[in-house]
Amino acid sequence: MTPALHAILKAPPQRLGLFRAAVGAFLVLYLAARAPLDVMTSAHSTAQFAPVGLPAWLGSDAPLPLPLVVLAYAVTLLAALAFTAGLHFNIMGPLCAVGTLWVTSYKSSWGMVFHTENLLTLQVLLLSCSPAAQAVSMDARQGRASWLRSVPSGWPLLACCLVTIVAYLLAGIAKVKLSGFDFMTGEVLRVQVAYDNLRKIEFGSAHAPWGVWAVGVPGLFPALGTLTLLAELGGVCALIHPRLALLWAVLVVGFHVGVLALMAITFAYPLSTVPFLCFFSLERLAPIQWLASKAEDRTPGL
Amino acid sequence: MRFTPAQLLYAAIAGSLLTLSSLPALSDPRDDNYPFSTYPMFASRRKTPTFYKAEGRNAHGQWQPIPPELFGTHEVMQAVMTVQRAARSPRDARKLCEDLARAEPNRYGKMRIVQVTYDPVKYFTEGPTPQSRKVLAQCGRRSRAHESRQKVQAR
C-alpha cells in the first residue's frame, strides 16, 4: 500500500468529520449565495425544459411551479446546515444529498449542463451515507451514533479522493479524445480562450481582459495546454504520496485560477480547495488542533 | 476478514457512484449528462465557430447584444444555449424573438436573432469583422421615423 493510501485509509473519525464540515460549509454558502439566481432560472419557458439528473430519472417533463422550486431550495439549504453541523445526520445527511442533487440537476435542466457542481454533488452524496458525523458534530456531542458507525472513516475519504481524481481524469480523456495530444501545443486552448471571450462580448456579458491579452501571445499556450493535461490526467499520482497529492492539488487549483483569469469562468468549489482536503491529515493542522483543544475544554464531544 | 452489513452497504453505494462517475470515459465526450459528466468543456477543436445571438435596436438605432438577464438568467452560457436551440428552426427563432420583445418592450424598438461566423483569434488580433452574418428572425415595433424613411424610399 502506498503512503498516501495508508494515510487516507487509517484516517481517524475527526478527519472525516472535519472534511464533512468543510464540504457542508461550502455547500451552505454556495446555496445561499446562488439562491436568487438559481430560483430565477425556473422562470424560463416550459419549452426550454430539458431535464437531466434527478428530474430526468424521475420522469419529470415539465418545470415545477415557482413555490415548489423555492421550497425545494429552502429545504436543501436547511438540510445543508444540518449536514455541516452534523445534526441528526442519519436523516439529514441523505436529505441534504438528495436536495443538492435535485437543486443542481434542476439548474442544469434548461439546455445547458453546467460542470461547476458535479464534484460538490458527488462528494456530498458519498459523505451523506457515511459515518461522517461520528466526530466534529452535534450528533457526537449529543451522543447520537451513526447507523453506519462500523464503516471505517477512511472509506468515505478514499471514495471522495477517487471521485475527485475521476472527475479530472474524465476532463483530460475528453480533451485527448476530441483534440488529441495536440492539445499540448496550446492552439486548441488559445482558440478556446478566444472563443469564450468572444461569445461573452457578443452577448454583452463580462469577459476576461487577461484572456483577450493572452490570445495575442501565442507562445504562452503550449505551457498552459501541457499543464492543463498534466493536472487532469495526473490525479492518480495523488494516491502515491501525500506530497504528490499536495503538488497535484496546487496544480489543479492553479488551473482553475487560470480558467478564471483567462475566461472569467468561476469553478468555485475547486477554487475553494475544499474538494482536495480529503487527501490530507486535516486533524494535524495546527489551527484545527487548537480549535479541537478549545472544544474539548468545553465538552468531550470533539 | 468479515464485513458488517453497514460496511457492505457503504461499499455498494460508494462503488456504484464511483462506477457511474467513471463510465462516461467509455462514451462520446459530446454525450454530456449530469451529475455523471464527460466534462467536455474546453476540449473541442474550434475553427470558425458559428454564433447565434439576439440583438436589440436601441433608441439611437444601434444594434446591441441582448444581455442574459432578458433570457431569465445571469448565466451567459444558458442564454447562448437558448438562442442556439431556437436557431434550429425559423419558427422557434421567430418565437424567441417575440418572447424577448415582449419581455422588454420599451428598451429596444426591434429585436433580431442572428447567425454570425467569426474566426475567434482574428477577432482579437485583427478586428471584430464577421466572416458571415445572417438574420434568422426579426420582430418588434417599427419606429415612426423608420416607417417614414421607408415611405420616402418607396416614392
Beta-ladder partners of A172? none
For residue A43, the 8-state DSSP code is T
pLDDT class for A295, splitting at 50, 70, 90?
low
Q: What is the pLDDT of residue A73?
A: 94
Does A66 touch chain B if contact means CB atoms closer than 8 Å? Answer: no
Q: What is the pLDDT of residue A301?
A: 46
pLDDT class for B44, splitting at 50, 70, 90?
confident
What does the pLDDT look like over A209-268, one tens digit per residue?
A: 999 999 999 999 999 999 999 999 999 999 999 999 999 999 999 999 999 999 999 999
Confidence (pTM):
0.85
Q: What is the pLDDT of residue B76?
A: 76
What does the pLDDT look like over A21-56, one tens digit per residue?
A: 999 999 999 999 998 888 877 666 677 788 999 999
- Do residue A122 and residue B35 have CB atoms under 8 angstroms apart? yes
- The minimum CA-CA distance between A65 and chain B, rounded to whole Å, is 15
Cell of A57: 430519472
CB contacts < 8 A, A to B, total: 194
ipTM value for the complex: 0.91
Q: What is the mean pLDDT of chain A?
A: 92
- Residue A302, pLDDT > 50, answer no
Amino acid at B76: V
- Do residue B43 and residue A178 have CB atoms under 8 angstroms apart? yes
What does the pLDDT look like over B92-150, one tens digit per residue?
A: 999 989 888 888 777 888 899 999 998 999 999 998 888 899 999 999 865 444 445 55
Pairing of strands B132-139, B63-65: unpaired
Cell of A24: 457542508
- The minimum CA-CA distance between B154 and chain A, rounded to whole Å, is 34
More confident residue, A71 or A295: A71
CB B35 within 8 A of CB A104: yes
Can you tell me whether residue B50 is helix, strand or coil? Answer: strand
Can you tell me whether residue B135 is helix, strand or coil? Answer: strand
Does A171 touch chain B if contact means CB atoms closer than 8 Å? Answer: yes
- Do residue A175 and residue B6 have CB atoms under 8 angstroms apart? no
Q: What is the pLDDT of residue A284?
A: 87
pLDDT class for A123, splitting at 50, 70, 90?
very high
- Do residue A205 and residue B76 have CB atoms under 8 angstroms apart? yes
- Do residue A159 and residue B17 have CB atoms under 8 angstroms apart? yes
Closest CA to B69 of A115, A37, A73, A267: A37
Burial readout B31-54 (b: 16 or more C-beta within 10 A, e: otherwise): ebebbbbbbbbbbbebeebebbbb
What does the pLDDT look like over A74-109, one tens digit per residue?
A: 999 999 999 999 999 999 999 999 999 999 999 999
- The minimum CA-CA distance between A299 and chain B, rounded to whole Å, is 29
Task: Pick from B42, B107, B117 the residue to mutate for testing the A interface (most A CBs within 10 Å).
Answer: B42
- Give the closest of B45, B66, B67 to A179, CB-based: B45
Cβ contacts of A167 on chain B, cutoff 8 Å: 21, 37, 39
Percent of chain A at pLDDT exceeding 90:
77
| Whole-angstrom distance, CA of residue B11 vs CA of residue B13 | 6
Closest CA to A99 of A82, A120, A118, A74: A74
| Whole-angstrom distance, CA of residue A269 vs CA of residue A112 | 19
Q: What is the pLDDT of residue B103?
A: 80
Q: What share of chain B is helix, strand, coil (3-state, %, to 5)?
A: 45, 15, 40
